[in-house]
Structure 1
Amino acid sequence: MSGVGEHSPLPRLTVPGLLALRRSRDPGAVAIDVVGGDSLTFEQWDTASTALAATLRHRGVVRGDAVGLVFANKDWTWFAVAYCGVQKAGAVAVPLHDTLPPTRLAQLLAACGAVMAITGQAGVERLIGASAMDGDDDARPDDVGQILFTSGTSGEPKGVTATHANLTTGVQTHPRRMTLAHSQRFLHAFPIGTNAAQTMLMNALSAKPSAVTLPRFTPRRFAQRLPEVGTAFLVPAMAIELLDSGALDGVELGGVHLVGSTAAPLPPAIAQRLARAFPRAAIVNYYTSTEAAPAQTSMIFDPTRPDAVGRVQPGVVRITDPAGSPLPDGEIGEVWLRSPHARRYLGDDAATGHTFQDGWVRMGDLGRLRDGYLYLADRDGDVVKSGAYKISTLEVEAALHEHPSIAEAAVVGVPHPVLGTQLAAVIVPRPTAGDLGLAAVRAFLAERLAEHQLPGGVVLLDQLPRNDAGKVLKRQLGQLFPGDTGGRQ
């Protein structure tokens, strides 16, 4: 008798349904292991979340209610229990990190209409301890199971709703087809409340290896765990810090077969350094967004196509003009990803209609298709119009990352009295950095870029401002360059 997914289409699943399936197959297997903290088996996860669901129902939580989940990374196992427990009650999980300022946390809970918030290990234990009955699984595929807030790099965070059908799209349930099958454990340190962290939670439920997570990312602690894992996930900022720290020196990395980068574009120079540091690993760049997930493209780093972010299957990506009409290969336009059971913005029909259309998601990026590969030009709002030119900040940033004295770099557009807008660069120098003045930076870039792509101003910082997802807050950087940038340093 064939198994599910071998010769028949996958059933429409729910997240608690996936958990029940894993418990039936691997009850004693560790699903999540927090370094220096707790671990969680599938049986424990299922049993505890069922008890929590029963208490929520007893306290009046009904189908469709939003429940805030406010957790620190040290409490990943308790977060996982609360997440599935809320969904088993038919309610909607709203992951939030406990480092959010109280005012912001209150705003987000109010924005999603949360009827209550569960906070940390103590909050979960109280609810489980109060359980007096068994809880059934009330989740349905078309129910909203999650609200996740966007990173807010280009404006106020938006709540994005996802159904269980969306969250489980593409999950392989047959034991011989589970993802990351080359690994027994995978490692990450993504903060709860980010899209990257939610992807790791779904990996813990559906992939073959167990999840290993750090309470906080530090290069040395991350490097210490690498000999025991087959897969490691990072954001580019973490990758840069790890490579520059020296923490990989002397660490056995031969067992790492995949290093995945997500949440932000991976500069080609950093991908090349990762490939040298992990000689037996595929360096994979994942391209998605909070709105588009779980739809994504992925690309094993290829030195012959260093700027490509994904090999595209037919019907998965399209490039359009602003009106939504398809553009020919090679032309730059708006990037859309195909997303069955697409997500929606919470309480914003106008924004939903703009971003989500007929199973497609507008990514907010500009890019092009060429020979079956996707290349990004820039975020739509980050393209700098300077004089007669439209300039990609990603291209300039990639060139800056090739400089041996530059650890990190971000490029923004700032006001200019003649051109309207001009490029400016914010640079984090390495400790042994040489001359990174404006003239030296422009001379370095002049060998790689056109004249109109050279910055007119440079500022050096100890670190770039980033959100929890690791994305640079470019709006803050623009404030470093008031008025004319000519000659600024």
Structure 2
Amino acid sequence: MDADAVDSVEALLTAPGAPFAVVRGEDGRLSYADGPRTLREFAETTWAFGDTPFVISENGCMTYGEFFAAACALARRFTDDESAGGYGLRPGDRAVIAMRNHPEWQVAFWAAQLAGLVAVPLNGWWTAGEFAYALDDCGPAVLVVDGERYERVRPWLDAASPRPWTLVCHEEGREVSGGRVERYADLPTPDPQLGPPDVDIDPSADATILYTSGTTGRPKGAVATHHAHMGAVTGPRYAAARAALTRGIMPGQGPAPIGLLTFPFFHVAAFTGFYAAMGVGGTIVVLRKWDTDAALAMIREHGITSFGGVPATALQLLERAKELGDELPTLTGFSTGGAAAPPGIVARLTDRYGERIEPRNGYGLTETLGGVLSNAGDEYRSWPGSVGRPAPAVEVRIADPLGEPVADGEVGELCLRGQPLIRGYWNSPDATGAAFTADGWFRTGDLAVRSEGRVSVVDRIKDLVIRGGENVHCVEVEAVLHDHPDVLEAAVVGIPHPVLGEEVAAVLRTRPGSTATPDDIRTFAAKSLAAFKVPTHVLLQHSELPRNATGKILKRQLRESLAVS
């Protein structure tokens, strides 16, 4: 579809009175004109889906009706006075959630929203020390954790004064005791006739604190209001409607989607996934941990229609399906997020499955509450290096170092403004001031270029390699290396050089049985890259590249390994 046709679809969806019409507020920012105002209002709409499965996990299936009843009951327990057996919490209190992708994660998160609390989902793979830092920072009134996370937060709890309430699920034989500690399994059976507590929530109130991944330092708590989250809720719905119309399909037709969601719930890429499912009564299927064969089995067993994961798991799934001759007959959507996707992933998907499975990609950050740019279908196939176009309530500016806009086709820093943006960082006015301009533009730290409305992310500013005065964008080199038939994963970094300043280095995971040498890799790269971009150092390995829990490659660790190799 050409640019004019895409523009006409967008105009149809965003015209005054249309489902995704936007208005500009007094502060200059765009927001959606209609729809729920708070996450509480959004959660209340899911009651209508009744017996439809909401979350399917190794522990069974939880329907929307069961979910909503449990969330309402827990919200009431949060807000009831202690004299009545509750926790006595009040709007604005922080509720930490730390666990695997158990259904109870969703119950706890939405109970916090129904009660007017500020949900603080923490990275489930953090150490005890990392948990302690975030708990000290946010000052929670209640923690909802699984047994594994309970062991890690217990030292902090034992030292806390006053001690917050703690609710433990899936303790798996661990001893759970002490003051203000309860087992989720001991809570009364939820009464489906009782709704949420009577709490008035303003759209401008804080809804979440989401901690950044902290790969370059201490994580920061990104604070988002209900109004911002409603922008994040609406964005995926718009992207789905636009993708359907560009294929000539009326949005909302057909059965509700069934999605395999491999992101941890605390990650904003998962927010994009479960917000999209909840908006239409879709089902999300989760794994205890990533396992390619288990994922393929789940796709077959549950008739999964869409997959969502980081590029590493996506490539593993495609590779294993090819080995097994699995045609993935129920799959119609294939999404990647959480990290930059190599452009070649679209070609692999299309070569194997034609146009039956729609490829989807996009761009989002913790600070944008998930995806705010999207690329799908034929557009993605035609522009595989792009992250797509912005949602209606999001504006894009590509800026020079002084913050001034650059012309289309020129590289600059990607800056964003609009409804789904956080309001700032918790207890960190300096970090907030450094990230946001006076008129509300958020500096992403990513280098990008725009052409015909489409945005392509070139690199992270801090990941740019400057070799002898020449700029080398790591993403560009990684995309070429990913095209080598023996390369499964690729990461490019800069390492110090006494004369050039930096040299280009690559760490590659190759497929089992590969006989490729570093010279073979350099020769391959030289066919597509200028000589100064070809990695001087190439380290080959069969093990997976180190990643954090959200799927981002730990490049600092790779630089250290290259320094000693």
TM-score (norm 2): 0.78
Partner residue of 1:385? 466
Residues 1:417 and 2:479 are matched in the alignment: no
The match for 1:66 among 59, 83, 94 is: 94
C-alpha spacing 1:299/1:130, structure 2 compared with 1 (3 Å): closer
Partner residue of 1:125? 184
Between 212-221 and 202-211, the greater mean CA deviation after superposition: 202-211
The match for 1:289 among 351, 354, 365 is: 365
Question: Which amino acid letter does the alignment assign opposite residue 311 of structure 2?
Answer: P
**1:94-133 paired onto structure 2 within 5 Å:** 94-120=120-146, 121=169, 125=184, 128-129=187-188
C-alpha spacing 1:4/1:377, structure 2 compared with 1 (3 Å): closer
| Structural RMSD (CA) | 2.8
Q: CA deviation at 1:200?
A: 2.5
Question: Which amino acid letter does the alignment assign opposite residue 110 of structure 1?
Answer: D
The match for 2:409 among 326, 330, 338 is: 330
Q: In 2, distance between residues paired with 1:107 and 1:188?
A: 28
**Per the alignment, in what secondary structure is the counterpart of residue 377 of structure 1?**
strand
Question: Which amino acid letter does the alignment assign opposite residue 283 of structure 1?
Answer: P
Aligned residues: 476
Extract unaligned runs of 5+ from structure 2.
Answer: 1-16, 22-31, 82-86, 147-168, 171-181, 242-250
Extract unaligned runs of 5+ from structure 1.
Answer: none
Partner residue of 1:47? 69
Residues 1:361 and 2:437 are matched in the alignment: no
C-alpha spacing 1:172/1:296, structure 2 compared with 1 (3 Å): closer
Between 303-312 and 453-462, the greater mean CA deviation after superposition: 303-312
Residues 1:212 and 2:285 are matched in the alignment: yes
Question: Which amino acid letter does the alignment assign opposite residue 46 of structure 2?
Answer: R
Partner residue of 1:399? 480
**1:471-486 paired onto structure 2 within 5 Å:** 471-482=552-563
Residues 1:32 and 2:63 are matched in the alignment: no
Question: Which amino acid letter does the alignment assign opposite residue 263 of structure 2?
Answer: F
Partner residue of 1:154? 216
Question: Contact conserved, 1:178 with 1:208, CA < 8 A, in 2?
Answer: no
Partner residue of 2:7? none
Partner residue of 1:14? 38
Q: Percent identity?
A: 32
Partner residue of 2:306? 231
Deviations 1:15-49 (A, max 9, x none): 221121121x2222222222x22322222222211
C-alpha spacing 1:352/1:177, structure 2 compared with 1 (3 Å): closer
Q: CA deviation at 1:269?
A: 1.6
**Per the alignment, in what secondary structure is the counterpart of residue 296 of structure 1?**
strand
Between 274-283 and 217-226, the greater mean CA deviation after superposition: 274-283
Question: Which amino acid letter does the alignment assign opposite residue 43 of structure 1?
Answer: G
Q: CA deviation at 1:53?
A: 1.6
C-alpha spacing 1:199/1:137, structure 2 compared with 1 (3 Å): farther
Between 131-140 and 38-47, the greater mean CA deviation after superposition: 131-140
Question: Which amino acid letter does the alignment assign opposite residue 297 of structure 2?
Answer: Q
Q: In 1, distance between residues paired with 2:515 and 2:525?
A: 15
Deviations 1:416-447 (A, max 9, x none): 1110111111011110212222x222111111
Q: In 1, distance between residues paired with 2:456 and 2:233?
A: 26
Partner residue of 1:201? 274
Residues 1:135 and 2:197 are matched in the alignment: yes
Q: CA deviation at 1:112?
A: 1.4
Q: In 1, distance between residues paired with 2:563 and 2:305?
A: 47
Between 78-87 and 7-16, the greater mean CA deviation after superposition: 7-16
Q: In 1, distance between residues paired with 2:239 and 2:499?
A: 59
Deviations 1:349-388 (A, max 9, x none): 1221232343432221001111222112100110011112
Q: In 2, distance between residues paired with 1:401 and 1:6?
A: 37
Deviations 1:227-249 (A, max 9, x none): 41222111101112222334763
Q: In 2, distance between residues paired with 1:291 and 1:473?
A: 20
The match for 1:274 among 346, 349, 352 is: 349
Deviations 1:201-220 (A, max 9, x none): 32332234221222222111
Between structures 1 and 2, the one with greater helix share: 2
Residues 1:447 and 2:469 are matched in the alignment: no
Residues 1:306 and 2:384 are matched in the alignment: yes
